[in-house]
Chain A
């Protein structure tokens, strides 16, 4: 009993975080539709519930009630596994994102709290957090590529080939853009990266402005948001790798997509904008506020820019983003070494 109790608590904590994430992800769809509507001088959804607040529930119910179609020529096992891979790979990186400093459970639970990491505002404080995130997000490509291949449709296959090529090329830029932050923080653990930014002028966005810009661009390519959403190019590929999917399997792909958006926003908050750090308000409010600000920025970008041409995207990734990322790493290393040697 004594050993089972803390495990149960850890499971409960994980479930609470997961539930919160899934709720936010559902409401991201509403935020996206509302903000896009406002940008287009429309009102956006406002019929289901006050201000359209029940729209995500209605959408979810609709998706569940839709007919489940498995294409007859599809590879069934892979076809069903693909959306699951996408969703799992989109949700588990949240485990290492610190969303608050402490939960104040020490007084309630006593020594168990600190022994089993229950008090920290993060599900798992892995000391290789950033590496873990990049590893998992690379795995997410498998879901996309398998989904496109298993559907046995030319549009799906083309979409997934594009998706895979794009994700792999932009992963490099994304990783390089973070290296500067890792050097300055001296750690791969996201908890320590946040703790290194304990005042506004220490936020890494001011020390790594180029890194931030690269992260923003490579990140939105990585999660395939609008200037880079070639994999679901409606006008030439129908909807890319998810063309042949229906009902909740389609919903899972979308869940994965929006979870990626939320995840990228929280990563930007954590890496460049001090995570939960902030005055007066409780840390969780700061974290969510910053995260949703970036969600807004991504939707804003979607409402502004048209889609890039496929070859331009690849060209930009390899010929611009990668060299600039490398330059940023070199320059950071150079300046930081000099700083350590002569200034501090």
Chain B
């Protein structure tokens, strides 16, 4: 009867001496996977033109209905998004928009620190989506 009790104590003592796995979050960061579904980003051609042709596939497939697009036409007949807005308060980061896009115009970055103090700041417009996300903290130690 006593031996299993002692075995339990032995096990917890071995954990007591083990290296701790806690990640001191704001000081240390998780190194997320390359395919991490973080904040969206609109991509450009090498010429600098936006890749998006405003086909509305992403807005259609989006289960949270958080993408809003207004299309316009260039003089040469090529369509482009006049407005492209993602409401991150509604986005569920499923990545369907990226899968649906025939032009690889929308991608997901690894940025996961995207919280804001106001909801309005989470309504991303075209200009903000075209900018690659900047990390808020410097990476000190890679864990994982």
Contacts and interface: CB of A to CB of B under 8 A. Distances in A.
Interface of A: 35, 37-43, 300-301, 303-305
B13 A300 contact: yes
Given A38-B15, A304-B8, 20 more contacts: A35-B16, A37-B20, A38-B17, A39-B12, A39-B13, A39-B15, A39-B16, A41-B15, A41-B18, A41-B21, A41-B22, A42-B20, A42-B21, A43-B20, A300-B12, A301-B9, A303-B12, A304-B9, A304-B11, A305-B5
18 contacts: A35-B16, A37-B20, A38-B16, A38-B17, A38-B20, A39-B12, A39-B15, A39-B16, A40-B15, A41-B21, A41-B22, A300-B9, A304-B8, A304-B9, A304-B11, A304-B12, A305-B5, A305-B8
Nearest to B20: A43
Nearest to B19: A41
Interface in B86-111: none
Classify chain B's interface size. Answer: 10 to 19
Contacts of A40: 15
A301 B21 CA distance: 22
Contacts of B16: 35, 38-39, 300, 303
Given A35-B16, A300-B16, A43 B9 contact: no
| Interface of chain B: mostly helix, strand, loop or mixed | helix
Interface string B4-46: 0100110111011110111010000000000000000000000
A43 to B, nearest CB: 5
| Interface of chain A: mostly helix, strand, loop or mixed | helix
Interface of B: 5, 8-9, 11-13, 15-18, 20-22, 24
A305 B17 CA distance: 18
A299 to B, nearest CB: 10
Max chain B CB contacts within 10 Å: which of A41, A42, A301? A41
A340 B17 CA distance: 47
Nearest to A42: B22
Nearest to B11: A304
A301 B15 CA distance: 13
Nearest to B6: A304
Max chain B CB contacts within 10 Å: which of A39, A300, A301? A39
Nearest to B9: A304
Contacts of B21: 41-42
Max chain A CB contacts within 10 Å: which of B9, B12, B13, B17? B12
Nearest to A47: B24
A339 to B, nearest CB: 27
Contacts of A304: 8-9, 11-12
A38 B14 CA distance: 10
A141 B22 CA distance: 40
A40 B5 CA distance: 18
